[in-house]
Structure 1
Amino acid sequence: MNPILSNLRNITLTYAIWLTIGCLLAALLVLTNISAWANALLFSIPAIMVFGSLSASAYYVARSLPMRKRSFFVVSGVFGGTALIYGIVWAVLCFAWNKLCLLFDEDWVGIALSQHLASLLLICGTLLYLLSILVYDVLLALDNIRQAERREAASEVLARDAELQVLRTQINPHFLFNSLNSISALTAIDAAAARNMTIELAQFFRQTLALSEKQKITLSEEITLCNHFLVIEKIRFGKKLQVHMEIDPTSDNCLLPPMLLQPLLENAIKHGIRDLIDGGTIIVSSKVRDPWLFIAIDNPVDTQPSQTQGTGTGLKNLQARLRTLYGDKSRVEWRITEQTFHIEIALPLERL
């Protein structure tokens, strides 16, 4: 649709511009002593307003030539030829309107329309229509840029969602396999424990499916999910696995991506607690330091290198996921000492 005719504001502004042009044309007629003010205004304003309506067709002329198909000669021929045709229409319109005014035989209507003035009106109409084409051409170019930006933004959103989906599917599946193996083993020696583990496993995956559909969840929801996971792991490892939560109450309603902590706890158990004869305690802590939310996990590690030492893929996936969501506004740091592995995540503070 013609952008100038798309709403009342644009229509009003357009006709205000054409009215101004009509007044300037009348002033030119007065200054060159061709006519008095009354005659000049009555001649120029109605004619220019009608021509302004006709110039709306310049939009379709500009749109008829896509940028990729343009050349200097094509543009000059189409734009220049159309402008000349409408210039002739404008000159004929002025001549007809002036003839109609002269029929009233009043001193305040009609002007002396000479051949020289008719030629000037022809040139003026051609230039005005050509200017209209150029204005519409600029508007079309700006609209194409906006559409391209919207398409690019939509593509970025789709690419981000696809990347997030890939990263989510890379969560370590060994937890499920190990849990099922543990349930299978427990059915023969402790049916009650196997039943409890099955219930917790169902609760964990039910909540995982529900939360994974959201882009952000609260820290309290993430902790609840992790607790279901830890209950299952405690059935597997018994007293060997201890967990201590140091969650700042002010961080409970802070937002973070779902399934952010569970893979880290899984790694802490797989590469830390499992390799220790006496096990150990995993410490999960959070604190708010406006404008940041800090979450840290500490777990003991074996002083001797393990044959199942990780490759760091999970941590790289975590960094990639946060970079996709937050850009450069997030941070993941970790360090390992002789007996402890420490990882800290810093996220922009967002609250529910």
Structure 2
Amino acid sequence: MHPILSDRRRFMVYIIAWIFTGVLIARLLVTADLANWSFALLFSLPVALFGSFLTSSAYFVCRSLPFNRRSFSIATLVFASAAMVSGISWLGLCYGWNKVLVLAADEVEVLHLSPHLLVLFFITGFAVYLLALLAFDVYIAFDNIREAERREAASRLLARDAELQVLRSQIDPHFLFNSLNSISALTAIDAVAARTMTIALADFFRQTLAIAEKEKISLKEELLLCENFLAVEKIRFGKKLGVEFEVAADAEQAQIPPMILQPLLENAIKHGIRNLPKGGVIKVTIFQRDRWLHIAVENPVSADPGNSTGNGLGLSNLRQRFFALYGDQARVSWQRTDDNFTLEMALPFEQTYHE
């Protein structure tokens, strides 16, 4: 689309600028004592408006010579030829329009078009069109740069989405395999518990399917997902597993990536609670402060590091997901002591709004 003709505001500014150009031409004719004001304006304004449409065609000339397929010699030849045609066209219009006005007024030529004045009209038409070619060429160059930046941004977005899908595909089966192993173990011990756990697992994955395609969900939805997950795990561990949630009311509507808290609870159980004879309590603290959402998960661990050390895949995935979504505007850190493991994360607080 033409950058001037396709935009009403630009078009109006463009036409007004050319009208002022016509007035300037009339002023020069009067100053040079070549015509009176009435004839000068009657001559120059239509000529200027014609020049505006003639000059706008320079955009299409530039478009016909893409930067990546042009040579300097070809561009010089085409631009010079186009400017030459423009200069001749503008000169012909000036000469013809002057004759029409003289005949219409039934007078001797009011504006005497001397050879010097005709040359001046030609040079003016040539120079103005050449400047228009250069201006549109610069505009197209910047437009190409903006388009390249848009394509690059779209590519980064697609790459980020692809990365998130890969990370999710690593997280989701992790819990599924553990749960199926637990169901298999319960089948031989307690068939009723195994059946109950299967139903609870189905409910959990039904909810994960509902949020799988979302980039962000509310913290409240994530907490509900965690409750369904814990319903499965409590069947397996019974009183050995305890969980305490301390969630600030103003944090529940925060927008967060789905399934960032559930894998942390899974790790706390797998690498902490499971290895303790008496089990323990997982403490989850969530609050909002200074437009940052803070989440902390704390769980007891065995004094023997060999019994409670994982491969770090879940935490690595969490960091990668945060980087893909927030860049450097998110933080994940963890600390282990002899009998305790604490993970803390902070991410920009994004509010969920309801209509």
TM-score (norm. length: structure 2): 0.94
Counterpart for residue 26 of structure 1: 26
Counterpart for residue 244 of structure 1: 244
Counterpart for residue 10 of structure 1: 10
Between the two proteins, the alignment pairs up a number of residues equal to 352
- Paired with 1:69 and 1:185, the residues of 2 have a C-alpha distance of 69
Residue 300 (str. 1) matches residue 300 (str. 2):
yes
Give every structure 1 segment of 4 or more consecutive aligned residues whose post-TM-superposition deviation is greater than 6 Å: none
Counterpart for residue 319 of structure 2: 319
- SS class of match (1:3): coil
- Paired with 1:182 and 1:124, the residues of 2 have a C-alpha distance of 87
The 5 A counterparts of 1:217-232 are 217-232=217-232
Alignment root-mean-square deviation, CA: 1.8
Q: Is the 8 A contact 1:99 1:110 kept in 2?
A: no
Give, as a single letter, the amino acid of the residue that structure 2 aligns with 1:147: E
Identity %: 55
The 5 A counterparts of 1:4-83 are 4-83=4-83
- Paired with 1:2 and 1:173, the residues of 2 have a C-alpha distance of 53
Residue 170 (str. 1) matches residue 170 (str. 2):
yes
- Paired with 1:178 and 1:8, the residues of 2 have a C-alpha distance of 63
- SS class of match (2:338): coil
More divergent stretch after superposition (106-115 vs 152-161): 106-115
**CA gap 1:329/1:174 in 2 versus in 1, 3 angstroms:** closer
- Paired with 2:111 and 2:83, the residues of 1 have a C-alpha distance of 25
- Paired with 1:50 and 1:72, the residues of 2 have a C-alpha distance of 30
Give, as a single letter, the amino acid of the residue that structure 2 aligns with 1:297: V
Q: 1:280-331, CA deviations, whole angstroms, 9 ceiling, x for partnerless residues?
A: 1111111121211111100111111225621222211111111111111111
- Paired with 1:109 and 1:39, the residues of 2 have a C-alpha distance of 11
Give the CA deviation at 1:38. 1.8
The 5 A counterparts of 1:91-170 are 91-105=91-105, 110-170=110-170
- Paired with 1:129 and 1:278, the residues of 2 have a C-alpha distance of 87
Counterpart for residue 87 of structure 1: 87
- Paired with 1:40 and 1:127, the residues of 2 have a C-alpha distance of 22
More divergent stretch after superposition (190-199 vs 136-145): 136-145
Q: 1:17-63, CA deviations, whole angstroms, 9 ceiling, x for partnerless residues?
A: 11111111111112222222222212211112122222222111111
- SS class of match (2:4): helix
Q: 1:321-351, CA deviations, whole angstroms, 9 ceiling, x for partnerless residues?
A: 1111111111111101110000011111111
- Paired with 1:83 and 1:27, the residues of 2 have a C-alpha distance of 25
Instruction: Give ranges in structure 1 of 5+ residues lacking alignment.
Output: none
